[in-house]
C-alpha cells in the first residue's frame, strides 16, 4: 500500500507539472485571442487555424527547405502576423460596423477556407518536423524538453507583449483604444492603423504558438479543432479581453485536462474541462476575475 | 391569398408525386439528404433568426442520432420509442444549458462560446465512450431481420425514405409558420432588439427564449435521428461537433435565415455543390467544397447578410430602396 501511494504521488506530481507546462502554451494562445477581442471587439473563431497554417509553414521550411529551426521560427511568426493583418484587412474591416455575431460567423467562414485550403494544398497526411528532443528525467519523473522549451518560449513571448503594451507609444495607444474606442480618434490616434497592428501582433502570437506546438504535435488540416475550442473557452472563462484572467484560466484548464487525463482517458479530461467551463459560466458569467454585480 | 394556398398545394402534390414518376435512385438519395439537412437547418434558423446564434446544434443532432442508435443496438428499443427519447435527452440538455444562460443574460459572443462548449462536450463524450459508441470510427445500427423494417424504422426503399423526409421537412415549415404567426415571434423580435425594453414591456424574456431553444433543439435531434436511420452509419464528425454546427450556420445564412424556405435553399446549394464537385473531380475534390463554402460564407456576410432567398424576396417585395432615389417615384409592385 505504501509503495502504491509513493508511485501514485510521483505520477500526480508529474501530471501537475505537465499541466503547468501545457498551461504556458494555452496561455500564449489565449493572449493572442484576448488581445484581438479586447482591442477590436471581434472573436476570431479561426484563430487555431492560423496556428495550423503556421505549423505547416514550419514543416515546409524545416523539412522541405532544410532551414534550421531557429531560422524558420521568425519567418513563420512573420508569415502568420501578415496573415492576421490580411484577415483583418479583408474580412473584419468591412464588417466593423456589422453586428458582432456577423463578424464571428465571417471568421467561421475563414475557418472553413483555411482548413480546406490546407486539405487541398497539403493533403490530409499527418506530418511532423522529425525533430526528437530528449526527455529530461528528474528523479522518477519524465518531462520532454519540447514542453519545457514551449513553456519558456511562451512565457518570454507573453513578457515581450506585456513590455510592448506598457513601454511603447503604439502599445499605449492599443491599451487606450481598448478602454474607449470613441475618444481615441479625437486624441489623434488612427484606429485603423492600431487595429491592423493589433491583428498583426495577434497573428504573430499565433505564429509563435505554431512554432512551439509543432515540436509536440503532428500537423494535419484539422489540428486546429483539437486546441481551438479550448482556447476560446479559456478566454471566456478568464473574461473576454481580460489578459490576466485568461492567463489564470489557461493554467486552471491545463491542470483539469492533465489531472483528468491521469485518472482516466484524455478525452474525459477534456469533458471535465468543458463541463467545468459551463458550470463556471453560471457562477461567474463575466469571467473568473469579474466581481458579480 | 387563395392563389398562394393553391400554389403550395400544387407544389406539395408535385413533390409527393415525384418519386413515382422519376425513379433514379441517386437523384432520390440526394433529395432525401437535402430534405433531412433542410429540416436541420430550418431547426437552427428557428432560433438563429432571433439572434440566438448557437454552435451547440451539432451536439443536439449527435445526441438524437446516437441515443436512437445506442438504444436500438444495446437494448433493442425500437426507434419509434428511441427517437422521442433521443429528442427528450437533447431537450433536457438544451434546457440545462440554456436556462442559466438566459437567466444570467449570457448573450452574443458569450452565448456562442457556451454553446460551442456544449457541442465540444458531446463530441468528446462520444469519442471517450468508444466501447459503446465506436468512438471516432463511427457507429452502425444493427440491421433488422427482414419483415421487421417498420418496427426498426429501416427501409431499403428510397421512395419510402423520400416520403418520410418530405413529411418531416413539411413539418419543419409548418412549425416555422406557426411560430411566425404566434406571440412568441413578436416577443422574440422585441427581445432581439432590446432585452431590457422587452422585459419592461412585460415580455418574460427567459421563458420565451427557453421555448424557442427547446423547439429548436428537439427538431435538431429529430433530424439527427432520421439521418442515422437513413444513412445507417454515423460518426462523431458527421453528426456532432463544431464542424457540423458551423455547417448549419453556414447553410442557413447562405439561404437566408429570415425566410421560411431560406435554410432549404441553403441546403440545396451546399449539397448540390458538394455532389457536383464530387462527381466531376472525384477524390481530388476533397476539401474544395468546403473552400467554396467558406468563401461564400464570408462574401455573403459582408455583402448579402439576408441570404440569397431573403435578398430576392426583398427585391420583389419592395424594389424601392432609399439608396436608389430615382426609383422612389415608380409604382411599387403590389404586396401579396
Q: Say yes or no to pLDDT of B301 above 50.
A: yes
Planar angle of CA B220, B36, B64, nearest 5 degrees = 35
Band (A4; pLDDT cuts 50, 70, 90)? low
Residue, of B25 and A54, whose pLDDT is higher: A54
SS3 string of B201-240? CCCCHHHHHHHHHHHHHHHHHHHHHHHHHHHCCECHHHHC
Q: Could you read off the pLDDT of A137-161 as tens digits, one per residue?
A: 776 667 778 788 888 888 898 899 8
How does B196-235 read in b/e, with b if 16+ C-beta sit within 10 Å?
A: eebeeeebebbebbbbbbbbbbbbbbbbbbbbbbbbeebb
Looking at residue A264, the DSSP 8-state letter turns out to be S
- Give the model's pLDDT for residue B335: 31
State residue B320's pLDDT score.
53
In chain B, residues 11-70 whose CB comes closer than 8 Å to chain A = 51, 53
Residues in chain B: 336
Whether residue B145 has pLDDT greater than 80: no
* Chain A positions in Cβ-Cβ contact with residue B286 (cut-off 8 Å): 119-120, 124
Cell of B243: 464542424
Whether the per-residue pLDDT at B326 is higher than 70: the answer is no
Q: What is the mean pLDDT of chain B?
A: 84
pLDDT tens across A166-183, in order? 898 888 888 888 777 778
| Mean pLDDT computed over B36-54 | 91
To 10 degrees, what angle do helices B108-128 and B79-103 make? 140
Give the confidence band of A104 by pLDDT, cuts at 50, 70, 90.
confident
CB B125 within 8 A of CB A273: no
How many residue contacts between A and B have a Cβ separation below 8 Å? Answer: 143
What is the percent of chain B where pLDDT is above 70?
A: 93
- The pLDDT of residue B323: 42
pLDDT of residue B230: 92
Q: Name every residue whose Cβ is closer than 8 Å to that of residue B160 and which is 6 or more positions away in sequence.
A: none
pLDDT, tens only, B86-137: 999 999 999 988 988 888 887 777 788 888 888 888 888 888 888 888 888 8
pLDDT at B7 over 70: yes
Look at B301 and A102 and tell me if their CB atoms are within 8 Å. Answer: yes
Q: Which residues are within 8 A (CB) of B211 and not within 5 positions of it... i.e. 6 or more apart? A: B184
- B336 pLDDT higher than 60: no
Collapse the DSSP code of B320 into the 3-class scheme (helix H, G, I; strand E, B; otherwise coil) and give the result. coil
Q: Which of B15, B60, B107, B108 lies closest to B219, judged by CA?
A: B60
C-alpha closest to that of A146 among A213, A61, A224, A205: A213
Asked if B127's CB is within 8 angstroms of A267's CB, the reply is: yes
Whether residue A109 and residue B287 make contact (CB cut-off 8 A), yes or no, is no
B201-250: pLDDT as tens digits: 888 888 999 999 999 999 999 999 999 999 888 988 888 878 888 888 88
As for the ipTM of the complex, it is: 0.77
Sign of torsion over alpha carbons A148, A153, A154, A160: positive
Q: Measure the CA–CA gap between B17 and B187, rounded to whole angstroms.
A: 39
Amino acid at each position: 500500500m505504501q509503495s502504491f501511494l509513493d508511485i501514485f504521488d510521483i505520477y500526480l506530481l508529474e501530471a501537475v507539472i505537465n499541466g503547468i507546462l501545457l498551461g504556458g502554451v494555452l496561455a500564449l494562445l489565449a493572449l493572442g485571442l484576448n488581445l484581438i477581442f479586447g482591442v477590436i471587439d471581434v472573436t476570431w473563431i479561426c484563430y487555431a487555424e492560423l496556428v495550423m497554417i503556421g505549423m505547416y509553414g514550419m514543416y515546409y521550411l524545416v523539412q522541405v527547405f532544410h532551414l534550421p529551426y531557429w531560422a524558420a521560427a521568425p519567418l513563420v511568426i512573420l508569415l502568420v502576423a501578415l496573415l492576421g493583418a490580411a484577415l483583418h484587412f479583408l474580412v473584419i474591416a468591412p464588417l466593423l460596423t456589422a453586428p458582432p455575431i456577423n463578424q464571428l460567423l465571417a471568421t467561421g467562414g475563414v475557418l472553413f477556407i483555411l482548413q480546406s485550403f490546407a486539405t487541398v494544398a497539403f493533403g490530409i497526411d499527418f506530418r511532423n518536423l522529425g525533430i526528437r528532443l530528449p526527455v529530461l528525467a528528474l528523479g522518477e519523473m519524465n518531462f520532454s524538453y519540447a514542453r519545457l522549451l514551449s513553456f519558456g518560449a511562451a512565457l518570454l513571448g507573453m513578457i515581450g507583449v506585456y513590455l510592448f503594451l506598457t513601454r511603447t507609444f503604439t502599445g499605449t495607444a492599443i491599451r487606450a483604444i481598448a478602454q474607449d474606442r470613441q475618444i481615441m480618434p479625437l486624441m489623434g490616434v488612427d484606429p485603423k492603423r492600431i487595429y491592423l497592428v493589433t491583428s498583426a501582433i495577434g497573428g504573430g502570437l499565433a505564429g509563435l504558438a505554431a512554432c512551439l506546438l509543432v515540436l509536440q504535435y503532428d500537423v494535419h488540416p484539422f489540428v486546429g479543432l483539437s486546441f481551438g475550442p479550448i482556447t476560446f473557452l479559456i478566454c471566456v472563462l478568464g473574461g473576454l479581453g481580460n489578459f490576466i484572467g485568461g492567463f489564470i484560466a489557461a493554467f486552471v484548464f491545463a491542470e483539469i485536462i492533465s489531472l483528468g487525463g491521469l485518472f482516466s482517458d484524455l478525452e474525459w479530461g477534456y469533458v471535465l474541462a468543458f463541463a467545468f467551463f459551463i458550470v463556471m459560466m453560471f457562477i461567474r458569467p463575466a469571467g473568473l476575475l469579474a466581481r458579480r454585480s | 391569398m387563395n392563389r398562394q394556398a393553391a400554389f403550395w398545394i400544387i407544389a406539395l402534390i408535385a413533390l409527393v408525386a415525384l418519386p413515382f414518376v422519376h425513379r433514379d435512385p441517386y437523384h432520390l438519395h440526394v433529395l432525401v439528404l437535402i430534405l433531412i439537412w433542410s429540416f436541420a437547418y430550418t431547426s437552427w434558423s428557428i432560433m438563429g433568426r432571433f439572434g440566438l446564434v448557437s454552435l451547440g446544434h451539432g451536439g443536439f443532432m449527435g445526441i438524437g442520432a446516437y441515443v436512437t442508435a445506442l438504444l436500438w443496438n444495446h437494448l433493442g428499443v425500437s426507434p419509434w420509442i428511441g427517437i422521442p427519447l433521443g429528442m427528450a435527452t437533447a431537450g433536457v440538455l438544451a434546457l440545462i444549458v440554456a436556462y442559466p444562460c438566459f437567466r444570467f443574460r449570457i448573450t452574443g459572443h458569450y452565448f456562442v462560446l457556451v454553446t460551442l462548449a456544449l457541442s465540444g462536450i458531446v463530441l468528446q463524450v462520444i469519442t471517450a465512450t468508444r466501447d459503446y459508441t465506436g468512438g471516432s470510427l463511427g457507429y452502425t445500427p444493427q440491421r433488422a431481420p427482414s419483415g421487421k423494417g417498420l418496427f426498426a424504422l429501416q427501409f431499403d426503399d428510397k421512395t419510402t425514405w423520400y416520403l418520410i423526409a418530405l413529411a418531416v421537412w413539411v413539418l419543419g415549415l409548418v412549425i416555422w409558420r406557426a411560430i411566425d404567426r404566434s406571440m412568441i415571434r413578436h416577443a422574440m423580435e422585441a427581445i432581439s432588439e432590446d432585452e431590457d425594453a422587452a422585459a419592461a414591456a412585460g415580455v418574460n424574456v427567459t421563458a420565451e427564449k427557453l421555448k424557442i431553444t427547446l423547439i429548436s433543439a428537439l427538431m435538431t435531434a429529430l433530424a439527427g435521428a432520421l439521418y442515422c436511420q437513413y444513412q445507417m452509419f454515423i460518426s462523431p464528425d458527421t453528426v456532432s461537433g463544431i464542424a457540423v454546427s458551423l455547417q448549419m450556420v453556414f447553410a442557413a445564412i447562405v439561404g437566408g435565415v429570415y425566410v421560411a424556405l431560406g435554410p432549404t435553399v441553403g441546403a440545396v446549394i451546399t449539397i448540390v455543390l458538394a455532389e457536383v464537385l464530387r462527381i466531376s473531380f472525384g477524390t481530388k475534390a476533397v476539401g474544395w467544397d468546403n473552400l467554396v463554402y467558406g468563401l461564400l460564407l464570408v462574401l455573403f456576410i459582408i455583402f448579402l447578410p439576408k441570404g440569397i432567398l431573403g435578398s430576392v424576396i426583398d427585391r420583389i417585395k419592395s424594389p424601392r430602396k432609399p439608396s436608389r432615389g430615382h426609383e422612389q417615384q415608380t409604382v411599387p409592385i403590389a404586396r401579396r
